[in-house]
């Protein structure tokens, strides 16, 4: 090989990685901001990635996905959102109300899709469900609207229930709306509410210590903080022999008694359709907020037996899943 040809070959070899990097840089990047941990929300991310693939967005080929986890800590959401702004991602998927709020505070330019927001209007993520406006849209999980149904299920299982403890993260903005809904439903059913606000993980133990025998069941207002510490909550609840009601199945898989609510995996799967539309040029302001289409009643019979409970056969028949 002549020296000139050899130099040309080397120059081409050196240029190829640069060209490849240029192509990779041109690939749209989706920032996934998970409010919980990688373990607690991995199924959410997997469902999202799978649906993207079905829509023609193949990770590593036609789209890049940067996933970050807030671990249930509000300060982490702001840090991650700021990082995504620095990375100049094409769109941010925020899995949770507080994560979406942090993303919105970080940018008014980058499109944001929330996959599980309890009250999008009340939290000021959007101006209306039909016309979100701004750079944010997504899926509501109807968190507060389901409180009455959850209390009705508890009363069906425990007709003599009179005192209900409510465990909530005091830092969670969506919890205020749901707490109001719980109070309204409790008045209708003649239930006395025992509030158990928490700020830190250490507060969970002290909340149960304070509770003692003041309630016949425990209702947990879900958010990433509670989800991260769901096993700890259930450990204390079992020790106190308290039946529990949760917003979705992950809590019941961690030894909770019952959950009723939207299928969060399905919501994150559907979020991929929003992302795809935006990557194809649609504006978040023009994409209406959608609501859940699947609601699951999940019951853990192992926990029921541990608590010495016999659940009504009619309830077990209605359950979407019974863990045995």
Supply the DSSP string of 121-134, one letter for each residue.
TTTTS-S-SS---T
Mean pLDDT estimate for the chain: 90
- CA-based end-to-end distance of the chain: 72
Instruction: Pick the closest to residue 141 from 108, 165, 115 (CA basis).
Output: 115
If you ran DSSP here, which 8-state letter would residue 199 be given? S
148 and 196 part of one domain: yes
**What's the structural domain count of the chain?**
2
CB 106 within 8 A of CB 85: yes
| The pLDDT of residue 175 | 77
Of the pLDDT bands very low, low, confident and very high (cuts 50, 70, 90), residue 3 is very low
Of the pLDDT bands very low, low, confident and very high (cuts 50, 70, 90), residue 322 is very high
CA dihedral sign of residues 224, 227, 232, 237: positive
Summarised one tens digit per residue, pLDDT across range 204-227 is 999 999 888 899 999 999 988 999
| The pLDDT of residue 143 | 63
Average pLDDT over residues 173-194: 89
Average pLDDT over residues 154-163: 94
pLDDT over threshold 50, residue 18: no
Higher pLDDT, 36 or 285: 285
Q: How many helices (H) and strands (E) does the chain have?
A: 13, 12
Average pLDDT over residues 39-68: 96
303 and 192 part of one domain: yes
- Percent of the chain residues past pLDDT 90, beyond the cut: 75
| The pLDDT of residue 14 | 45
Average pLDDT over residues 124-148: 89
180 and 202 part of one domain: yes
Distance of alpha carbon 278 from alpha carbon 257, whole angstroms: 39
pLDDT over threshold 70, residue 128: yes
137 and 276 part of one domain: yes
135 and 221 part of one domain: no
Summarised one tens digit per residue, pLDDT across range 82-91 is 999 999 999 9
113 and 20 part of one domain: yes
91 and 223 part of one domain: no
Supply the range of the domain harboring residue 224: 144-262+296-323
231 and 124 part of one domain: no
235 and 257 part of one domain: yes
Summarised one tens digit per residue, pLDDT across range 256-301 is 999 999 999 999 999 999 999 999 999 999 999 999 988 899 999 9
31 and 168 part of one domain: no
108 and 41 part of one domain: yes
CB 208 within 8 A of CB 236: yes
279 and 247 part of one domain: no
Of the pLDDT bands very low, low, confident and very high (cuts 50, 70, 90), residue 9 is very low
Higher pLDDT, 48 or 210: 48
| The pLDDT of residue 144 | 59
| The pLDDT of residue 236 | 96
Burial pattern 257-277, b for ≥16 Cβ within 10 A else e, equals bbbbbbbbbbbbbbbbbbbbb
Instruction: Pick the range with the lowest mean pLDDT from 70-74, 164-168, 272-276, 317-321.
Output: 70-74
Task: Give me the CATH number covering residue 125.
Answer: 3.40.50.2300
């Amino acid at each position: 090989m002549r020296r000139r040809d050899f130099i040309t070959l080397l120059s081409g070899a050196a240029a190829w990685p640069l060209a490849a990097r240029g192509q990779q840089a041109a690939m749209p990047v989706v920032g996934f901001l998970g409010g919980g941990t990688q373990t607690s929300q991995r199924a959410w991310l997997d469902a999202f990635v799978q649906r993207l693939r079905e829509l023609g967005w193949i990770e590593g080929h036609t789209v890049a996905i940067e996933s970050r986890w807030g671990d249930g800590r509000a300060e982490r959401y702001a840090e991650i959102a700021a990082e995504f702004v620095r990375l100049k991602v094409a769109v941010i998927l925020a899995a949770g109300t507080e994560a979406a709020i942090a993303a919105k505070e970080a940018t008014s330019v980058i499109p944001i899709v929330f996959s599980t927001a309890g009250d999008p209007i009340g939290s000021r993520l959007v101006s209306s469900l039909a016309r979100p406006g701004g750079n944010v849209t997504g899926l509501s999980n109807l968190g507060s609207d389901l409180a009455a149904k959850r209390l009705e299920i508890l009363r069906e299982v425990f007709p003599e229930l009179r005192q209900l403890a409510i465990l909530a993260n005091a830092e969670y903005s969506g919890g205020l709306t749901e707490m109001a809904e719980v109070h309204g439903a409790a008045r209708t059913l003649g239930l006395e509410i025992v509030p158990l606000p928490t700020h830190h993980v250490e507060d969970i133990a002290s909340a149960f210590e304070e509770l003692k025998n003041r309630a016949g069941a425990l209702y947990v207002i879900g958010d990433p903080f509670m989800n991260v510490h769901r096993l700890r909550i259930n450990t204390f609840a079992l020790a106190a022999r308290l039946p529990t009601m949760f917003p979705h199945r992950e809590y019941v898989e961690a030894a909770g008694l019952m959950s009723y609510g939207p299928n969060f995996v399905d919501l994150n799967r559907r979020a991929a359709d929003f992302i795809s539309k935006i990557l194809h040029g649609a504006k978040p302001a023009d994409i209406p907020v959608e609501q859940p289409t699947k609601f699951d009643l999940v019951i853990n019979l192992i926990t029921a037996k541990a608590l010495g409970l016999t659940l009504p056969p009619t309830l077990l028949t209605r359950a979407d899943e019974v863990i045995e």
